[in-house]
Structure formats: structure tokens, C-alpha cells
Amino acid sequence: MATLGIDFGTSNTAAGIMKDGRPHLISVEPGRTTLPTSVFFDYDRKETTYGSVANAALIDGREGRFMRALKSVLGTPLMREKRQIAYERLTLIEVVARFLAMLRERAEAETGTRFDTALSGRPVRFHSSDEARNAQAERDLREAYMIAGYDDVAFMFEPEAAALASGPLAKDELGLIVDIGGGTSDFSVFARDGDATRIIASHGVRVGGTDFDRAISIAEVMPLLGRGAEVRNALGAGRHVAPNAIFNDLATWQKIPFVYTPENRRMATDFAKLGIDPALFARLKTVLEMELGHDIAFAVEAGKIRINQPDAQTAAIDLDVIETRLTADITKEAMRAVLADHAAQIAACAEDTLAMADVTVERITKIVFVGGSSLLHVVEDVMVAMFPHAALERAEAFTAVADGLAIAAARGLPR
């Protein structure tokens, strides 16, 4: 019975096994060991595509339903609602199951090995404070693995998996995993006992890269579509501010597929007629009619990455898909301000992790950054301020969790 280590992420996914005594990551896409956690149901071809192919189908404007960030919906009632998705009725659990089945098929095709079981990474907390929802999220994910054809699945906290794959740590020294994923931020304080990794404490908070995207989109992009703008009352004198709900949903990866309702389209049409600045709401109308929400989300994500480059002080979020030469410009300082609350939550969670481990800041000698969002300046800045004397390790930020799961999977499923 072979076990596949799977880092099923909010934004990206990887899978690994041990080979010749070292972690080996599966080529989940040609020439790549990670793939976007994206699914596209193609209306015309009546087929489902995944990863970069799914992203390309969306960008190419194919007719269909695109989904991303499904991990963030685990534990919520949305996962079990049967709904029409393109050409069939499915629950979101079944959608996740198909993604996991695809991953298994690609791993088996590469290795010639049948994987009956999986060791899946999971955040320390799917949801920050709701224990019932946390438990339900794991049940949802377990059910998806079972539907995907696995005989059994065990779960391991993602930062603890990353600790297994981290670099050397001297005797009596302590390290801290800072794992900022697409949907959650997780921390583990760890030590080395010989060749063994000892986890002292782990903790997490529901803040991640998709939350960063959402905050940037709401602050910088949605005002160009009418967020905060005034609308004349349909009856009588007076005016009111356009409701925030539609803009908040358009800025939220997992909610975008569900905003293109007749009610929302009618509302945008009315606002385009009654708005004090009708051009803003005309853009909103275009976004809903052309189903451009994910195009905006990808543009925001790309702008976030560009402004994070060392020499960048300003970056443009390209919204040409909505209107020719339309951009939202963001500066480094503006991004720090927009993400300040998220950075504070991350810092507080790191402090709580140290308290759970009963160690002081000075005891941490190495910070290991894991997850693409951990490389953002706002995250690094807050960690360096907290741990000014700690060495920083970033080398395997994108694959450390999958590497650690491969190591742990080779030792057998935890019980």
C-alpha cells in the first residue's frame, strides 16, 4: 500500500513521495511540480480541466464555470449544496474530489505505483475561532478523498510538515515555521532531537494570500466599479451609497462564480442609470455581463506580485479587460496600509504560538518562510521586527510542505 503526500492548497497544489532517500515531487503539470488549484468546466466541450489549463481556458474567454480557492469553503454549508455547474449538478465536495482524483492519476502515471492512501496537509485552523466548522472542514476534505477513490487518508498540520523538510538546526536552538498560504497563516515552533524533528507548538489563523488579494481589490479596484459611490433613489428625492455586498463578493475568489445572478445584473443596470457617476456603474455592469470577476482577481494578484519586487515603488493593476487603458495604481506604502490589519493578525498569531510553546522571542534562532504569500514584504517586515536576531530561510517556500508530507508519508500514516 503506497501513500501519496498531498499539499492541497487554496491557490496551488503539490504532491510528493520519497525516492532514493529524498523527497521527490510529482510533475503535476508538464515541467512543473506545482499546479494552480483551479477547475474549469467547459460548456462547449463538456469537459473539466485543471490547473494552468483551467486558468488558460478562463483567460482565453471560453464559455464555462471557473473555480478557485475551494479550500476556503471547506466546513461551510456551501460545500454540500447541490448546484448546477456548467453541464451537471454537483456539490463542491465532488468538485474537490475530482481535483484530488486527477492528482492521483497523474502521480500514478509518473511513478507506475498505485496510491491507495494519502497523507494530506491541512491548516492548523481552517477557521479561526469556530471549532465546529474546523471539524466539519476536515470531514468535508476526508469525504472528498474518499469520493476520489482513496482507501484512507490521514492529515498533518502543514507547518509541521514544513518543519520536517527545513534545513539544519543546531542543538538547543528553536525554529519557527511561518506558513502563509492562500487561505490561512500557520506557525510551528520546532526543535531537532538528533535527526528527528520535535514540534513544540502549532497555531493558526484564517488569513492568507487570497485575503490580501481581496483587501487590495476592495481598496484599489472596486471604487472604479462604483464601490462607495452614490446612487439616486429610484423613487423620490435623495440618494444613497451603493451597497458593498456585490463589491465584496467580486473581490473574493471563492464567491466570484456566484455573483453573476439576474438580480445583480439588474441592480448594476439600475445603478448605471441612477448613479451620480454612471460611468463607474457602467463598468460594474460590464463586469457582470461579461463575467470578468476572475479576470480582475488575476489582475490584482499580478499587481500584488509586481509591487512586491524589491525595486518597485508603484505597480499598475491592469484592468484593460474592462475598459481600454483602465488601471488601478498601487504603491508599496498603500499596500502596507491596506494589509496592516492582516499583518497585525499574523503577528498576534505568531505571538500566541510562542506563548503556547512557552518560549520567548529570543529563543527563536531561525525563521522558515513557507508559502508564496510568506515572501511578501509586509509579512517579512512584521516577522523581522518581532525576531530581529533570527536567521531567515526562504529557499523552499513553495514546496516545503509537500516535501515534508513526502517524508512523513514514507514513515506510514499517523494514527
Query: Which whole-number Å values give the CA distances from 172 to 298, 377, 389, in the listed order?
Result: 44, 30, 16
Q: Which three cell numbers stand for residue 4?
A: 501519496
**Residue 415: per-residue pLDDT:** 58
- For helices 262-274 and 278-290, the axis angle rounded to 10 degrees is 160
Helix, strand, coil content of the chain in percent (nearest 5): 45, 25, 30
**Whether pTM exceeds 0.85:** yes
pLDDT digits (tens, 9 = 90+) for 197-225: 999 999 999 999 999 999 999 999 999 99
* C-alpha–C-alpha distance, residues 102 and 53, integer Å: 13
Domain extents in the chain:
2-168+396-410, 227-317
Neighbours of 289 (CB within 10 A): 12
Q: If residue 329 lies in a helix (H) or strand (E), which one and from where to where?
A: strand 327-331
Residue 333 has pLDDT above 70, yes or no: yes
pLDDT digits (tens, 9 = 90+) for 386-415: 999 999 998 788 999 999 999 999 988 765
pLDDT digits (tens, 9 = 90+) for 172-182: 899 999 999 99
pLDDT digits (tens, 9 = 90+) for 263-312: 999 999 999 999 999 999 999 999 999 999 999 999 999 999 999 999 99
Q: For 203-235, give the DSSP string.
A: EEES--HHHHHHHHIIIIIGGGGTTT-EEE-SS
Question: What kind of fold does domain 2-168+396-410 have according to CATH?
Answer: Nucleotidyltransferase; domain 5 (3.30.420)
54 within 8 A of 9, measured Cβ to Cβ: no
User: Is residue 131 helix, strand or coil?
Assistant: helix
